[in-house]
Chains A and B, each alone.
Chain A
Amino acid sequence: MEAVIPEKTTAAHSGEKIGSQHIGIVVAMLLGILLAVILCSIAMGAVRVPIQAMLGAWLNQQPLSREQHAILFQIRLPRILAAALVGAALSAAGLLFQGLFRNPLADPYVIGSSGGAVLGACVGMFVLPQLSVFGFSATALLAFAGSLLTIVLVYRLARVGGRTSVVTLLLAGFAVSTMLSYSSYFLEVLDEDYGTGMRVLASWLRGVIGIPRWGQLAVIAVMFLIAFAFCLPIARRLNTLALGDEYAQQLGLNVERVHISIIVVGSLLTAAAVALGGLISFVGLIVPHLARMVMGPDHFRLLPVTAIAGAIFLVVTDTLARTILAPSEMPVGVLMAFIGGPFFLYLLRRTRREYAL
């Protein structure tokens, strides 16, 4: 029947980028790199704390000086762990949104969900500062609500007949982002405690990873872990969704329900990232794209790789941001805009040519 004699492929996964049996090795390698990057980053800064001194303190109980101890545990480590969390959350959220919109250009910043989270957090800070849930400030919760509302809005606007065109997605995201960032300025006017709120808002809008308290870090880490646990079953569904709504439905998925769970989990991740680092652009775009180039498009394998690679990526860029202009610091959001902007344009050009969506 076939005119062409099928050419037998002997190697089980010759055409795939990295075989499924290697995923464990890749994840272990990336975790090792993450640990190394964190150690290097701790050592770097205005006050150098040599790695030997840290290892000595850990292995031989040679105590660090009080100054070194304070720098490590009150300043650097919380900030570096925050950067790792932000990077992992933004990258995983980017991967989810790209699967949802079936478009490699979707990123929490581009589609406006980061902006929505900032607006939600601002409402918490300026309008309802006394509101608290289970003893925690409602900021993170309102950031989640803001992000959720924005994506629902963009989703409604940008999807026409089950498809999302690049142009509508970007324009919807742009409009929502613009409205949100200017509403944030409006909220400044409502600032009763003149100064504090403005400073926080300014750092959110620039994408500064602050120095969180350990309690705050723990809350966000739990939020991230819960969201990530829900990502795992979603990841397989994303592969099916890639075939389009009709195929996904034909293959037995309740498409609406899957979309809603992606939106909720993606918003949770975005809110976690924004609570620690404000508006940091394009991380959720660059990291999944690079991971896809190495691992192929299977979301189940991409998810852990993207999250860890995102953590590495942001720890590195944040370390650069705080050391490159030492003794002064640059917000990592500014650095990301410099790196991510051109990358986004490159991807836009490529996407329009290849996918014609």
Chain B
Amino acid sequence: MTSLLDFHGVSFAYEGRTIFSGVNFTLPRGECVALIGPNGIGKTTLLRLAAGLLPCSAGRVLLGQRDVNTLRRMEVARLVAMVSQRVEVPFEFTVEQIIEQGRTPYLGLFGGLRPSDRQAIERAIDMTDVGYLRHRIFNQLSGGERQRVKIALGLAQEPNLLLLDEPTQNLDIGRQLELLDLIGNLNANGVTILAAMHDLPLIEGNFSSVLLLSPNQPLLQGSPSSVLKPKILERAFNCSPRQQPVLVKSDLLKDAAI
């Protein structure tokens, strides 16, 4: 198994305040990983570091064995796509026009979209099922629709690794399940995924492994059933095991989903 993303002793400080330090992990190709941790621990920061959007203060971030800081921005954008939580578009772009922006890292200064770019855009639209929204104005979409379009934008970059920042946030339960279905389908189609997740009950059955960032502890990496244990979560999230919902059902139910 080749690794797509490696953190080697990565530290990050912002305005003199250390967000985290000495983070090590490896993300093998084909995985679907949930990144969890309490609010403010730096989940989004970790994703930004992985996407090369922030420079780390110490250590190295490797994308397929190459240091992200030595790559040109355009090269990074062909390897990693990040789906941020917020996007505000001041003009009335259609969904298709938004997704076309995913080809930016492949276009020259003067070139337009080539047939290969069109194909990538169509593939992204198919994979996320947003064809019927193609000509709608992006700003007028519902939260769930927007989330799918943002993922299509990321897929149009044809990245090796897709980073999702809280993809299920602000969605109702139906849209959350739809989105998890989509994530599962993408992963089944060979897209490696690292998603910062807030809703712990959604993790088991939908992600192949979990990264837990917790205060004053080294990063913990493991299968959902090994990480989502009441004792571990108590330390990380500072909440008593008795108040936690049952997060790992495999102990109760025989068949583990997927």
Contacts and interface: CB of A to CB of B under 8 A. Distances in A.
B135 A13 contact: yes
A7 B134 CA distance: 10
Nearest to B136: A15
B132 A247 contact: no
A14 interface: yes
B105 A242 contact: no
Contacts of A2: 129, 178
Nearest to A354: B139
A355 to B, nearest CB: 5
Interface stretch (A51-59, A292-300, A342-350): A292-300
A251 B104 contact: yes
B102 to A, nearest CB: 7
B107 interface: yes
Interface string A1-40: 1101011110001111000000000000000000000000
Residue among A6, A242, A253 with the highest chain B CB neighbour number at 10 A: A242
B97 A297 contact: yes
Nearest to B98: A243
A9 B157 contact: no
B53 A242 contact: no
A267 B178 CA distance: 48
B253 interface: no
B84 A236 contact: no
Interface string B117-152: 000000000000101101110000000000000000
Contacts of A8: 131-132
A107 to B, nearest CB: 15
A167 interface: no
A253 B100 CA distance: 15
Contacts of B88: 244, 355, 357
A247 B84 contact: yes
Interface string A253-289: 1100000000000000000000000000000000000
A15 B90 contact: no
B181 A250 contact: no
Given A233-B109, A243-B101, A251-B104, A104 B74 contact: no
Contacts of B98: 243
Given A251-B104, A252-B74, A253-B73, A6 B109 contact: no
Interface in A62-91: none
A253 B87 contact: no
B66 to A, nearest CB: 16
Contacts of B77: 250-252
B91 interface: yes
A190 to B, nearest CB: 42
Contact of A4 (B74, B97, B132, B157): B132
Interface residues of A, number: 36
A246 B77 CA distance: 12
Contacts of B89: 242-244
A103 B89 CA distance: 10
A147 interface: no
Contacts of A357: 88, 90
Contacts of B82: 250
A242 B97 CA distance: 11
B89 to A, nearest CB: 6
A91 B98 CA distance: 24
Given A251-B104, A252-B76, A242 B91 contact: yes
A249 interface: yes
B110 interface: yes
Interface string B32-45: 00000000000000
Given A4-B132, A246-B84, A247-B84, A254 B93 contact: no
Contact of B110 (A6, A233, A250): A233
A246 B53 contact: yes
B53 A249 contact: yes
B135 A250 contact: no
Contacts of A251: 77, 101-102, 104-105, 157
Nearest to A232: B110
B87 A243 contact: yes
Contact of A250 (B81, B93, B134): B81
A216 interface: no
B92 interface: yes
B135 A296 contact: no
A158 to B, nearest CB: 14
A15 B92 CA distance: 12
B105 A252 contact: yes
Contacts of A292: 91-92
Given A244-B86, A244-B88, 19 more contacts: A2-B178, A6-B132, A8-B131, A9-B132, A9-B134, A16-B94, A233-B110, A242-B89, A243-B87, A247-B101, A249-B53, A251-B77, A252-B74, A254-B73, A296-B92, A296-B97, A297-B93, A355-B90, A357-B88
15 contacts: A1-B178, A1-B181, A6-B131, A8-B131, A8-B132, A13-B135, A239-B97, A242-B89, A242-B91, A243-B101, A249-B53, A250-B53, A251-B101, A251-B105, A297-B91
Q: Which 5 A-B pairs have the closest CB atoms?
A: A15-B135, A252-B77, A6-B132, A297-B91, A252-B105
Interface of B: 51, 53, 73-78, 81-82, 84, 86-94, 97-98, 100-102, 104-105, 107, 109-110, 129, 131-132, 134-136, 157, 178, 181-182, 185
